[in-house]
Amino acid sequence: MKFKSPWPNLRELIPEGKKGTAEVVHFEMTDDHSKGTVVRMMATGFAGSFCPPGEYIKLIVNGKIMMSDTQMEKDSNRGVVNRAHGSVLLGGLGLGMVALAICGKKEVTDVTVIENNPDVIALIATRIEHKKLTIIEGVPYTWAPEKGRKFDIIYFDIWSTIDIGNLPMTARLHQRFKFKLNRENPRIWMSSWMVDYLRGERRKEDAWLNACGAHP
């Protein structure tokens, strides 16, 4: 049986364009550039650094790459797509790749996305319309659903970099939204982009500092 990828072809859905602080760019990863990502992978020890040759799309916000549809992005977000069911809340729209993949699952009833940048919404929202999808302009740290609203899956992907400095913000979001999980569902799940990897990196850093006597 042929495996069907859950990921949408974003280059077909979203044209290049710019709106205020946000820009969508189509780009090609050549063989030479791909080889460069192998070097980066070996230097960092992070397997997700590798990017195969091919044609891709990326979202740039305020001059920084916020998201792309490279293999790393797909692999690092596969967990939420695999677990998605029922009512889903996503923090961060990006290119809409994760939202569309989740909308395509029959086990999912609805997907709500909170995005704080109106320019991103203007560029992306009309290109990824889906009957299950609702996109709301708001800041995840302050936005709240209507009273009594619960979700089966909650996931945050609002960071442009893989940095252990994101962990305090992750913890804050998880603490804020833990009461919005549907506790009647034994399969509820809440997480954030790359959080398990970052926690592992912090443990390594703490162990190194303890070994050096840097921690009190």
46 burial type by CB count under 10 A (0-12 exposed, 13-18 middle, 19+ buried): middle
CATH 3.40.50.150 residue window(s) in the chain: 80-199
Predicted local distance difference test score (pLDDT) of residue 41: 52
Rg, C-alpha atoms of the chain: 18
| Residue-by-residue pLDDT tens, the chain, 216 positions | 445 689 999 999 999 999 999 999 999 988 767 665 555 555 455 555 677 888 999 999 999 999 999 988 998 999 999 999 999 999 999 999 999 999 999 999 999 999 999 999 999 999 999 999 999 999 999 999 999 999 999 999 999 988 999 999 999 999 999 999 999 999 999 999 999 989 998 898 878 767 776 555
Predicted local distance difference test score (pLDDT) of residue 43: 47
Say if CB 198 and CB 166 are below 8 A apart: yes
Please, which residues have CB within 8 angstroms of residue 26's CB and are 6 or more apart in sequence? 11, 16, 55, 56, 57
Say if CB 177 and CB 190 are below 8 A apart: yes
CATH number, domain 80-199, options 3.40.50.300, 3.40.50.10800, 3.40.50.150, 1.25.40.340: 3.40.50.150
Rounded CA-CA distance 77/158 in Å is 12
Rounded CA-CA distance 194/5 in Å is 21
